[in-house]
């Protein structure tokens, strides 16, 4: 039992080309054969008709009326030579147009209307045999038997077997020639396709020999020009996979780096609590464990946000929607208002209904602004002020968060510009809830939304974080 063909394999290229080219070549061959037959028939008729015309002239020169009647001296040597050349039967008739005199084969079919002085050629049947007839009419001078305006008609005919045999021979040779040309073209097509696909087979072998983690770009040199755009598209696809792989690798590094320490501290606290007998000391350990758990919960939320930002290129463009910026800032402030009140930090929002909206992904934008505000609250001293501002420019929307903290060193600004992770505790501010991922998340989200994050120290102190987003709709980009 034969295996069924796999429909996913597709149709071979040579078969597709053959289905387009072979019928076209056949059609061209048939049309050329038809035109050749017409041309050959015209040429053959012209050659054979020339012999018939010569025979009519020879007969006309041998017609005499001197005896009072119609006399014809037939050119028998000419007839014999003509019959040998034509390889058929020769028939003739000499008559007057009034039918008074007929010499020759009286059973020849009557001619069509004739014009004086012109030779007319036509096809007819003689005892069911096809013949070719030449007829000529001229005035008879003097007329016979006292008739007036009498015309002489000379007709000579030949059977067409020799003409048809000649045409059959030529057409047969033409068909054989065209079939040989078609077979040669098909063979050359198969050889050309095989040679043309050789670079593609070499490219396939190169891909098959690659390791699973080899995401280098393919070298398009040496490939046909028509294939190079396909290779470039594959290279772009490989780059996207490489970017996603690097994002996943960075996420694993961040997760392992951030989760390892809290879990180790939590285990140490549990081991210490198991050894304590005093309820007061045990409560202190439990409070410390609660702080570690809160920090781990915050860390987990930010790691998930980081993974979402780095993999946002996988989202559909349908996730973008009009987002009212003033409403979004108000929502972010309400989320962090309780924490700001604990530290007596004033939150100010400078945005109104005229700020307008952005066509973007609300969840990602909310997470970015929330992380910036969280960092600003954490960095600001108690009793300070954090200001959120939204301003629409010509080509973008700028959302800035200003705080009154110590700002960042130039080294940290340089590291953040190069994409390195920022750790707030390393800047002199001790806060157990800080995970060091906030600005990293914002950077990833900004790239995903087609924007950028600018960080700068304020002259009067504090940090100015500005999130620039395109004013026009833009698709999500790989982070």
3-state secondary structure of 212: coil
Is residue 477 a part of any domain in this protein?
Answer: no
Considering only residues 208 and 309, tell me which one the structure prediction assigns the higher pLDDT.
208
Rounded distance, CA 317 to CA 311, Å?
13
Asked whether 133 and 155 are in contact (CB, 8 A), the reply is yes
Kindly state whether residues 333 and 426 are assigned to the same domain: yes
Kindly state whether residues 334 and 463 are assigned to the same domain: yes
Please report which confidence band the pLDDT of residue 88 belongs to, taking 50, 70 and 90 as the band edges: low
- CB proximity list for 350: less than 8 A, separation 6 or greater: 387, 388, 389, 390
User: pTM value?
Assistant: 0.47
Mean pLDDT of the chain: 78
Place of tokens 């002199």: 428
Considering only residues 32 and 313, tell me which one the structure prediction assigns the higher pLDDT.
32
Rounded distance, CA 276 to CA 190, Å?
86
Asked whether 465 and 453 are in contact (CB, 8 A), the reply is yes
Kindly state whether residues 276 and 340 are assigned to the same domain: no
Model confidence at 281: pLDDT above 70: yes
- Which of 279, 294, 310 is the endpoint of a domain? 310
| Secondary-structure breakdown of the chain: helix, strand, coil percentages, each rounded to the nearest 5 | 55, 20, 30
Q: Give me the number of domains the chain comprises.
A: 3
Model confidence at 434: pLDDT above 70: no
Work out the number of other CB atoms within 10 angstroms of the CB of residue 268.
14
Kindly state whether residues 414 and 395 are assigned to the same domain: yes
Kindly state whether residues 34 and 156 are assigned to the same domain: yes
Among 72-81, 284-293, 466-475, name the one with the lowest average pLDDT.
72-81
Model confidence at 433: pLDDT above 60: no
Model confidence at 226: pLDDT above 50: yes
- 27: domain CATH number is 3.30.450
- Across the strands, what pairs with 375? none
Domain that holds residue 390: 317-470
Model confidence at 77: pLDDT above 80: no
Kindly state whether residues 163 and 305 are assigned to the same domain: no
Kindly state whether residues 296 and 367 are assigned to the same domain: no
Residue 229 buriedness (CB in 10 A; 0-12 / 13-18 / 19+): exposed
Asked whether 433 and 378 are in contact (CB, 8 A), the reply is yes
Is residue 38 a part of any domain in this protein?
Answer: yes
Rounded distance, CA 251 to CA 311, Å?
10
The pairs formed by 103-108 with CB atoms below 8 angstroms and a separation of 24 or more are: 103/70, 103/72, 104/155, 108/133, 108/155, 108/157
- For residue 345, the model assigns a pLDDT of 92
- Which of 104, 188, 191 shows the shortest CA–CA distance to 152? 104
Asked whether 367 and 308 are in contact (CB, 8 A), the reply is yes
Kindly state whether residues 401 and 327 are assigned to the same domain: yes
Kindly state whether residues 163 and 283 are assigned to the same domain: no
Please report which confidence band the pLDDT of residue 431 belongs to, taking 50, 70 and 90 as the band edges: very low
For 24-42, give one letter per residue: b (16+ CB within 10 A) or e: ebeeebeeeeeeeeeeebe
Please report which confidence band the pLDDT of residue 293 belongs to, taking 50, 70 and 90 as the band edges: confident
Rounded distance, CA 433 to CA 42, Å?
102
Positive or negative torsion for Cα 171, 174, 179, 185 = negative
Kindly state whether residues 230 and 357 are assigned to the same domain: no
Kindly state whether residues 83 and 147 are assigned to the same domain: yes
Considering only residues 363 and 431, tell me which one the structure prediction assigns the higher pLDDT.
363
Kindly state whether residues 300 and 380 are assigned to the same domain: no
- CB proximity list for 80: less than 8 A, separation 6 or greater: none
DSSP letter for 312, please: G
391-424 pLDDT per residue, tens: 888 788 899 999 988 888 888 777 776 655 544 4
- 439: domain CATH number is 3.30.565.10
């Amino acid at each position: 039992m034969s295996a069924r063909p796999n429909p996913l394999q597709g149709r071979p290229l040579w078969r597709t080309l053959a289905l387009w080219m072979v019928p076209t070549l056949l059609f061209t061959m048939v049309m050329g054969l038809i035109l050749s037959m017409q041309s050959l028939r015209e040429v053959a008729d012209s050659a054979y008709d020339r012999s018939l015309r010569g025979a009519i002239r020879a007969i006309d020169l041998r017609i005499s009326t001197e005896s009072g009647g119609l006399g014809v001296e037939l050119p028998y040597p000419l007839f014999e030579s003509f019959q040998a050349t034509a390889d058929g039967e020769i028939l003739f008739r000499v008559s007057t147009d009034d039918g008074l005199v007929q010499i020759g084969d009286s059973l020849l079919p009557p001619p069509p209307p004739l014009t004086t002085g012109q030779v007319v050629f036509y096809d007819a049947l003689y005892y069911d045999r096809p013949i070719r007839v030449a007829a000529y009419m001229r005035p008879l001078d003097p007329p016979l038997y006292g008739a007036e305006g009498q015309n002489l008609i000379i007709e000579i005919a030949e059977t067409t077997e020799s003409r048809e045999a000649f045409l059959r021979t030529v057409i047969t040779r033409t068909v054989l020639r065209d079939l040989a040309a078609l077979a040669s073209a098909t063979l050359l097509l198969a050889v050309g396709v095989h040679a043309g696909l050789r670079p593609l087979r070499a490219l396939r072998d190169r891909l098959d020999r690659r390791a699973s983690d080899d995401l280098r770009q393919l070298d398009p040199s040496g490939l046909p020009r028509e294939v190079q755009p396909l290779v470039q598209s594959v290279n772009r696809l490989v780059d996207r996979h490489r970017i996603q792989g690097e994002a996943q690798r960075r996420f694993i590094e961040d997760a392992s780096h951030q989760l390892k320490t809290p879990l180790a501290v939590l285990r140490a606290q549990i081991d210490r609590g198991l050894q304590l007998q005093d309820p007061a000391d045990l409560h202190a350990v439990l409070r410390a464990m609660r702080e570690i758990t809160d920090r781990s919960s915050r860390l987990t939320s930010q790691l998930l946000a980081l993974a979402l930002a780095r993999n946002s290129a996988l989202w559909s463009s349908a996730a973008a929607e009009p987002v009212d910026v003033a409403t979004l800032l108000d929502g972010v402030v309400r989320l962090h208002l309780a924490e700001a009140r604990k530290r007596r930090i004033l939150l100010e929002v400078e945005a109104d209904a005229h700020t307008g909206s952005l066509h973007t992904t609300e969840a990602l934008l909310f997470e970015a602004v929330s992380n910036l505000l969280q960092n600003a609250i954490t960095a600001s001293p108690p009793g300070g002020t954090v200001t959120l501002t939204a301003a629409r420019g010509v080509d973008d929307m700028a959302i800035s968060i200003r705080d009154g903290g110590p700002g960042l060193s130039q080294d940290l600004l340089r590291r953040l510009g190069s994409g390195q992770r920022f750790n707030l505790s390393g800047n002199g501010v001790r806060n157990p809830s800080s995970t060091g991922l906030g600005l990293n998340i914002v950077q990833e989200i900004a790239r995903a939304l087609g924007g950028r994050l600018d960080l700068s120290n304020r002259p009067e102190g504090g940090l100015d974080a500005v999130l620039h987003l395109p004013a026009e709709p833009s698709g999500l980009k790989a982070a």
